[in-house]
Structure 1
């Protein structure tokens, strides 16, 4: 393998000749050969965005030559577009400030800019990774800024649209099933009637509230640390840099980013990400409920509840011929478990700031973005391969509805709780219908029972 010699404050080091990263990235690869988890593409893209914005603002403020800024912008655009992804090989398990990944960005953009200018890669001329690409910045404010950009973009562009699509599909199912009366269930036991549409409306509202909670946490993610530099004071940055660079990032992304009002909070904590991940944890809890309900309602086909028919996507057993399983529900519940676990990591990482800096940044954003992707992809898969194909098994639903003992609840206002309980227990122990039990016990006539017990009139408040 051909190499070149690059230098940093620690001295010389060999770097592969065909890569744009430099000395500090090469040292990171040696010292942090840990695991297989790499810095997420979303963070790399965000780094490109903030480096571009910084160059433009520094040039505007007169602290960076315009020709250098133009070169940085061209190289940063390639980072944003994903053209240079192969040159970002660093592990998540590195310095907790993300310094090596910030320098990875500085080195790649510097060397690519040098190449565009016709210079020698590794020469640091005419674009220096620290003096030019990193001007007015520190790893301590760039990396948390990239974290917020990546988190906000992924929630807006990936998660909310996926949730909205699934929510809308379940809304259509709720409307489709609204005339189907079924037995409700509480404590896994028979309860009073509801419609299948009402049951699905609960799922719709869960996702609607999940979307609203995501929108609630976004303002915290729109606050950017950039301009705080090393400890939050803004040392070595122009006094107008923070506000202007946040506005430039907002312009580049189309999202309402602003400069964080207190840079000490922005560097020392990640409460906004902890809060935002809590909203995703709530969505995961909703997923768990929805997926479990769907697979249990579809259980069978001969020995389960069988109230729903779900799409048959793939064979379910290597030994039992013809078996088909509720695999989309199983995947969704596993994703929920992973998001719960990620929340623990984000919580511990977020709580672990010391003095002026939190040094758990890479593990926080890695788990955060994994949750976004898993929740988004699962919503998309569950929608395409399960929700759109859910059908009601009307025969089974009618059977359960006609045989549930909890229809007796409609008698409470007419004969009292105690007499209604006698009817239900008699019917259960003697395996008869509620009507037969009421007549046998001499509590009601058949006509009275038919007048009082009408499932279609038990679907909402009736008493005045």
Structure 2
């Protein structure tokens, strides 16, 4: 005789048939039907599943210690949570990432999966909730309104640590190139016009410095996520929870997670406030803006190969055109640019969702979660991809860069202290009108000797501050 393909479960709205092999239950089933929005389940963010399991495990241990959960059920719940934290059963987290209900569907998806796996461990069948119930046992002393935002913060914290590591990896790639290109002289540009000389190494070092600054800003912002409202239950008053539950569950959570988490000083405020998410999202936008600017520079500097700047060569990754033979495009910087645009848009979504909170709860944290997780994941992948498939393979064209310096009118700026602004302006005008070199015009006018010019226009003199030792020409 074949086992039945469904089992019957009951909720507020009545009875429903759930697939017999499913670890989720009727609440999750209804959520899947109610929110056919993106087609993307919450399992796409394993860090969220991991965080939910960590919190449920801490709750079970706290409630056992408080005498609210017997040892047999506690052990089964803990074992199920540890399986989830090991990466098992993530495919059972099937609720859409965008959902109504302030995350209740996600919380119940976790409660049901944990309960049904715990039932199996106790020797029962899925759905035999009289032995261990998703609400009565897995969810003791909890509400979606404290579990969901706490899980979101824990998951985001871990994600940010991964992003910081990826940014450090990219920074190291830029630092290596800055050292490699330290002796490559080139023209700096402001407003896309010739400015003054610099080295390609100096240019690449700025990209490393920008990343390092943003790593620090992320560390500062993510520290705000360490304050949780766990124990707040519905609105922050802690109703249905044991008086000692909040400090105890936090103690257990810190022990399990190893993260520097603390209980918010005011649980009512913490339950409705999304300021930490807004702050973090703003920093992610900052990272995206600066990373995109860096990619714009790489695309400009490598433009050509003959009709553009052509100062650097990006490693060829793929054929660039279906019609133009031999064309190679800067596809890696381009994809990182697009990640940046997405992150900037996500920041607006987080901003509006946080602003839309009303009274004691923000019902829009699912879209905040989806937006933050996307931003963090895509920025991390983008940094690693940019380092491995672009920056590490960049080469310089030193002959071309030096030629632009020698032919540039911009080097006249370096002669300002020695020939005066008026003379420098006149030399620049003549060079521009005739196509002549600044070097030759200054020499022909007798403004400086050949020895003086050769000294002043050495690369090290052009790219760093120098004491003025020559007498200014009249």
Question: Within 5 Å, which residues of 2 pair with 1:405-444?
Answer: 405-444=409-448
Match of 1:55 in 2: 60
Instruction: Quote how far apart the aligned CAs of 1:53 are.
Output: 0.9
CA distance in 1, matches of 2:343, 2:272: 24
Question: Within 5 Å, which residues of 2 pair with 1:42-441?
Answer: 42-156=47-161, 158-441=162-445
Instruction: Quote how far apart the aligned CAs of 1:37 are.
Output: 2.8
Instruction: Quote how far apart the aligned CAs of 1:445 are.
Output: 4.3
Instruction: Quote how far apart the aligned CAs of 1:312 are.
Output: 0.9
CA distance in 2, matches of 1:297, 1:96: 49
Asked if the contact 1:114–1:125 (Cα under 8 Å) also holds between the matched residues in 2, the reply is no
Asked if the contact 1:427–1:436 (Cα under 8 Å) also holds between the matched residues in 2, the reply is no
* Structure 1 range deviating more: 78-87 or 162-171: 78-87
Secondary structure, counterpart of 2:96 in structure 1: coil
What does the per-residue CA deviation read over 1:241-295, in whole Å, with 9 as the maximum and x for residues that have no partner? Answer: 2222223222222221111222122211211111111111111011111111111
Instruction: Quote how far apart the aligned CAs of 1:81 are.
Output: 2.1
CA distance in 2, matches of 1:106, 1:122: 12
Asked if the contact 2:98–2:370 (Cα under 8 Å) also holds between the matched residues in 1, the reply is no
What does the per-residue CA deviation read over 1:360-388, in whole Å, with 9 as the maximum and x for residues that have no partner? Answer: 01100011000011000011111111111
- TM-score normalised according to structure 1 size: 0.96
**Structure 1 pair 31–453 and aligned structure 2 pair: CA distance change class (3 A):** closer
What does the per-residue CA deviation read over 1:151-179, in whole Å, with 9 as the maximum and x for residues that have no partner? Answer: 001111x2111111110111111111112
CA distance in 2, matches of 1:395, 1:96: 63
Match of 1:29 in 2: 32
Asked if the contact 2:233–2:241 (Cα under 8 Å) also holds between the matched residues in 1, the reply is yes
Secondary structure, counterpart of 2:463 in structure 1: coil
Unaligned regions of 5+ residues in structure 2, if any?
469-474
Number of aligned residue pairs: 463
Unaligned regions of 5+ residues in structure 1, if any?
none
CA distance in 2, matches of 1:251, 1:383: 35
- TM-score normalised according to structure 2 size: 0.94
Asked if the contact 1:231–1:267 (Cα under 8 Å) also holds between the matched residues in 2, the reply is yes
Give the CA RMSD over aligned residues.
Answer: 1.5
Check if 1:20 corresponds to 2:23.
yes
Secondary structure, counterpart of 1:182 in structure 2: strand
Instruction: Quote how far apart the aligned CAs of 1:401 are.
Output: 1.5
CA distance in 2, matches of 1:220, 1:239: 25
CA distance in 1, matches of 2:444, 2:330: 44
* Structure 1 range deviating more: 2-11 or 374-383: 2-11
* Structure 1 range deviating more: 172-181 or 143-152: 172-181
